[in-house]
Amino acid sequence: MKDPLKFKEKKDIAIYRGAVYQEHRKKFFESYFNENFCDIGDTGKHDSLYKKNFLSKKEQSKYKFIISLEGNDVATNLKWAMSSNSLVLSTKMTCETWFMEGKLKANEHFVLINNENLLDTINYFIQHPKQAIEIINNAHNFINQFLNRKKEFHISILVLAKYFYYSDQLKINQKEILQIFQ
């Protein structure tokens, strides 16, 4: 995402929009829904105590802090949020995708939060914006490895070839795989 706002130009609160029907999201909302240091809302189609209006990525990027919560698997907003100039606040990540979430380090690529430390975390990074910007820049550097379309295409072909090979759907040797990329 192209974020025209610098961190210092953004609102000093945390934002989150998404469906809230998983227990871990409900518990997070129970802790923070009515707090003035964050604007969190449920945009799912089900009835909820936490309903709020949908906000676009552009609207959410006006906030210094974007909360990223896993749902049924990975947090859908993690990739675009890490490419913004906002600081990503995330609970402990448990799922892994092509994005290699397991390689992300707390306080290097994002800030680890829980159901008790959100206010302290926000206050800390409002007082220490240079640290926030450093983490944001690290997040951008992490994202950059996925922006080379040609490289991503080649990696995906190799992954597919390996999958088909190990599932006995493809008879190919390493020399043949290397020839694909010449």
Number of domains in the chain: 2
Task: Please give the residue that has the higher pLDDT: either 39 or 181.
Answer: 39
Residue 2 lies in a domain: no
* Same domain assignment for residues 41 and 120: yes
* Same domain assignment for residues 117 and 36: yes
According to DSSP, residue 65 is labeled E
- Which H or E run includes 40? strand 38-42
* Same domain assignment for residues 135 and 153: no
**Average pLDDT in the 89-116 region?**
95
Instruction: Read off the pLDDT of residues 41-94 as tens digits, 9 standing for 90 and up.
Output: 999 998 889 999 999 999 999 999 999 999 999 999 999 999 999 999 999 999
Most confident by average pLDDT, 44-48, 121-125, 162-166: 121-125
What percent of the chain stands above pLDDT 70? 95
* Same domain assignment for residues 69 and 93: yes
pLDDT band at 152 (very low <50, low <70, confident <90, very high): confident
Domain span including residue 21: 7-144
Helix (H, G, I), strand (E, B) or coil at 116: coil
Helix (H, G, I), strand (E, B) or coil at 41: strand
* Same domain assignment for residues 164 and 90: no
75: CB partners within 8 A, 6+ apart: 68, 69, 90, 93
Predicted pLDDT at 169: 86
**Burial of 46 per CB tally in 10 Å (0-12, 13-18, 19+):** exposed
- Above 70 in pLDDT, residue 24? yes
The CA angle 86-150-154, to the nearest 5 degrees, is 110
What sign does the dihedral 118-120-125-131 (CA atoms) show? negative
pLDDT band at 155 (very low <50, low <70, confident <90, very high): confident
Predicted pLDDT at 171: 77
**Average pLDDT in the 107-111 region?**
98
Predicted pLDDT at 182: 57
* Same domain assignment for residues 97 and 17: yes
Residue with tokens 């707090």: 35
158: which 2 tokens?
């190799």
* Same domain assignment for residues 40 and 93: yes
What CATH number is given to the structural domain containing 65?
Answer: 3.40.50.2000
**Average pLDDT in the 25-37 region?**
95
What is the arrangement of strands in the sheet containing 87-90, beginning at the earlier edge strand?
38-42, 11-18, 63-68, 87-90, 111-112
